[in-house]
Amino acid sequence: MNDYKISNAIDIKPGDFEKRPEIVNITSPATYFEEFIFARVNLCPLPKIESLNTVIRFDIDGDHGGSWTIVVEGGLLKRVVRNYPDTSSSPHEAELRSVSTFSMDSETFISILKREVTPQKAFFSRKVKITGDIMIALKMNVLIHYL
């Protein structure tokens, strides 16, 4: 049997994901992206993917859904921008071009936040669609799981 090494892999120990603080009163993706995401992701006790520099878009359909773009630099969340249909003239448009997009409905997103379903299970049951650079999406898995 061959051993394989994944570059930029992170050593995650059993129980690390259980350290995630509970989310209280999150009822919509908008509330999460606009009030909670910075503290949750940047205070994550998991090792950072220091080489991760990317732009990820989340398209959430349904109640209180919307579209948000997050900018990750050095494994830390630097910006969250709510996308509106008329933002094509934004002066920061090039900076916000996503490398990968995660699409899902608001019910699935809230279920992931409440740990009722894992991001992997949601993806493999086709409740989450990923477009763009799949390798970047896989690296984002650590941060997304910690949502």
Residues in the chain, pLDDT under 70 = 1-24, 39-49, 86-95, 141-147
In a domain, 43, yes or no: yes
Q: What would the two tokens of residue 32 be?
A: 């999460």
User: Which range marks the domain in which residue 125 is found?
Assistant: 24-83+97-145
State CA 53 to chain mean position distance: 13
Distance CA 98, CA 55 (A): 5
Tell whether 119 is covered by a domain.
yes
Q: What is the CATH number of the domain that holds 44?
A: 3.30.1050.10
Instruction: Quote the pTM value.
Output: 0.74
Total tally of structural domains belonging to the chain: 1
Q: Is residue 18 part of a domain?
A: no
Evaluate whether residue 17 is within a structural domain. Answer: no
Domain membership of residue 66 (yes or no) is yes
pLDDT tens for 9-18 read 444 444 444 5
